[in-house]
């Protein structure tokens, strides 16, 4: 079915706080790599998604600029990719409404992210937190994106996007929306919390010690890795030996993803050694990769007007692709368009 659609990559990150090592390895690093794939790449700071939980307005502006700086510092080049913030392209919200008329409540009820984030307080969370996956489907489909690089946690939302596209095409008898492929690849598609190997590293975790922030300095990174929860056993020679050791497995995965080595290669070097030796080596690799990114972010953040200009320029380029797609969607659905 995708044969008729030009290959195009879209992905986004919420500016709902400072970005983490999980966002870097699961998303940003790969966003930069896809720029060399020859495909058109569109990257978005999904500020409308961030609003699904309370955001202080002044802080949200700073977080959005900081996230834009993180994208660029990680290698996203606004000349080669389209980089913008979602709220500057109204077609996202418009298509979201149209697609929420296609999506079924039963599909939304199955979304584990809503269950996790809504928790016991589900009656009191925003309506938008529940509708979030319809907006995410719109983010992707408004560009007819054929592939979306994401971390493992977003797999279910991508499946929902495919279901919405297929139902729209079926209901209206068209081959209009592509059936988007998730790109979940690499050694770190799910970076786990440093405090709990069963929870994903997240920017909204109340414990700062659970994550490495892209703004952390070398000492903070080393300290967080030193204090990361582990066990007392030495490292085995293969990943099979880490099957029931989630915290240890997480640190080895992080090492491999940062160094670009395979996990077996890493374990071959550290086999038989304890975390007293492994953690300082991991901290060294982490600082070597992250320090240049952090320092480039600081430079970029010192010129907020330039960041805003880049986002505005990206939004205009994004709008030029999205507007005809949303207009055509409305036409297919039977909306009159008679304005001059
Ligand atoms: N721990 C992670 N490991 C690998 N990939 C991750 N991603 C997030 N955390 C990890 C990937 O980063 C992209 C952007 O995610 P997001 O910020 O839009 O939302 P999220 O997945 O909900 O990320 P957080 O950090 O957990 O945000 P909060 O705490 O605000 O909800 C996605 O591709 C995601 O897979």
Least Cα distance to 10 among 154, 188, 168, 141 occurs for 141
Nearest atom in ligand 1 to 189's CA? 4
Tell me which residues have their CB closer than 6 angstroms to ligand 1: 13-14, 16-17, 20, 22-23, 25-27, 150-151, 153-154, 188-191, 200-204
> How close is the Cα of 23 to the center of ligand 1, in Å?
5
pLDDT score recorded for residue 259: 96
Q: Which of 155, 188, 202 has the most ligand 1 atoms within 8 A of CB, as the residue to mutate?
A: 202
**pTM greater than 0.85 (yes/no):** yes
Quick count: other Cβ atoms within 10 Å of Cβ 177?
A: 29
Nearest CA residue ID for atom 22, ligand 1: 202
Query: Is 330 noted as a catalytic residue in this protein?
Result: no
Least Cα distance to 22 among 64, 72, 68, 74 occurs for 74
> How close is the Cα of 61 to the center of ligand 1, in Å?
19
Query: Is 279 noted as a catalytic residue in this protein?
Result: no
Catalytic residue among 155, 167, 200, 227: 200
pLDDT score recorded for residue 230: 95
CA dist 142 and 110 (Å) reads 24
Nearest CA residue ID for atom 23, ligand 1: 202
CA dist 243 and 249 (Å) reads 8
The half-sphere exposure of 114 on its side-chain side, counting CA atoms within 13 A, is 22
Rounded to 10 degrees, the C-alpha dihedral 214/217/221/226 comes to -170
CA dist 38 and 144 (Å) reads 17
Nearest CA residue ID for atom 7, ligand 1: 23
Q: Which of 27, 112, 133, 210 has the most ligand 1 atoms within 8 A of CB, as the residue to mutate?
A: 27
pLDDT score recorded for residue 120: 82
Nearest atom in ligand 1 to 150's CA? 33
pLDDT score recorded for residue 1: 47
DSSP state of 211: S
Question: Average pLDDT for consecutive 10-residue bins of the chain (340 residues)?
Answer: 78 96 95 94 98 97 98 98 98 98 97 89 93 98 97 94 98 98 89 96 95 98 97 94 95 96 95 96 98 98 98 98 98 94
> How close is the Cα of 203 to the center of ligand 1, in Å?
8
**20 DSSP β-pair partners:** 213
Pairing outcome for strands 181-183 and 147-149: parallel
Query: Is 117 noted as a catalytic residue in this protein?
Result: yes
Contact 313, 307 (CB under 8 A): no
CA dist 301 and 263 (Å) reads 35
> How close is the Cα of 331 to the center of ligand 1, in Å?
35
> How close is the Cα of 97 to the center of ligand 1, in Å?
24
pLDDT score recorded for residue 251: 97
Measured over all CA atoms, what is the biggest interatomic distance in the chain, rounded to whole angstroms? 74
Rounded to 10 degrees, the C-alpha dihedral 145/151/154/155 comes to 80
Catalytic residue among 155, 167, 203, 224: 203
CA dist 238 and 236 (Å) reads 6
**123 DSSP β-pair partners:** none
Catalytic residue among 29, 115, 117, 199: 117
Quick count: other Cβ atoms within 10 Å of Cβ 304?
A: 15
Least Cα distance to 68 among 300, 325, 327, 340 occurs for 300
pLDDT score recorded for residue 8: 97
Least Cα distance to 251 among 219, 23, 239 occurs for 239
> How close is the Cα of 178 to the center of ligand 1, in Å?
24
Terminal Cα-to-Cα distance of the chain (whole angstroms):
35
Nearest atom in ligand 1 to 205's CA? 29
């Amino acid at each position: 079915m995708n044969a008729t659609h030009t290959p195009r990559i879209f992905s986004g990150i919420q500016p709902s706080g400072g970005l983490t090592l999980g966002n870097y390895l699961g998303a940003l690093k790969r966003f930069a790599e896809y720029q060399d794939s020859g495909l058109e790449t569109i990257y978005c700071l999904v500020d409308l998604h961030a609003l699904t939980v309370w955001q202080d307005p002044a802080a949200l502006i700073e977080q959005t600029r900081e996230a834009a700086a993180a994208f660029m510092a990680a290698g996203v080049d606004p000349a080669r990719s389209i980089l913008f913030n979602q709220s500057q392209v109204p077609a996202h919200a418009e298509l979201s409404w149209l697609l929420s008329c296609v999506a079924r409540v039963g599909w939304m009820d199955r979304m584990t992210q809503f269950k996790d984030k809504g928790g016991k307080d589900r009656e009191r969370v925003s309506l938008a937190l529940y509708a979030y996956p319809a907006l995410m489907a719109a983010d992707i489909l408004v560009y007819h994106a054929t592939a979306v690089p994401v971390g493992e946690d977003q797999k279910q939302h991508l499946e929902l996007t495919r279901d919405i596209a297929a139902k729209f095409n079926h209901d209206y008898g068209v081959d209009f929306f592509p059936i988007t492929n998730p790109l979940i690849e690499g050694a770190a598609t799910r970076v786990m919390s440093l405090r709990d190997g069963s929870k994903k590293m997240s920017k909204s975790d109340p414990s700062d010690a659970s994550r490495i922030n892209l703004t952390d300095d070398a000492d903070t990174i080393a300290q967080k890795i030193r204090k990361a929860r582990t066990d007392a056993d030495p490292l085995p020679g293969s990943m099979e030996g880490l099957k029931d050791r989630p915290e240890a497995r997480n640190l080895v995965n992080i090492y491999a993803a940062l160094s670009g080595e395979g996990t077996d290669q890493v374990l071959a070097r550290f086999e038989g050694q304890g975390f007293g030796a492994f953690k300082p080596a991991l901290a060294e690799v982490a600082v070597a990769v992250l320090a240049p990114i952090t320092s480039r972010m600081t430079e970029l953040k010192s010129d907020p007007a330039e960041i805003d200009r880049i986002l505005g320029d990206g939004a205009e380029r994004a709008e030029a692709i999205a507007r005809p797609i949303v207009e055509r969607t409305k036409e297919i659905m039977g909306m009159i368009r008679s304005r001059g």
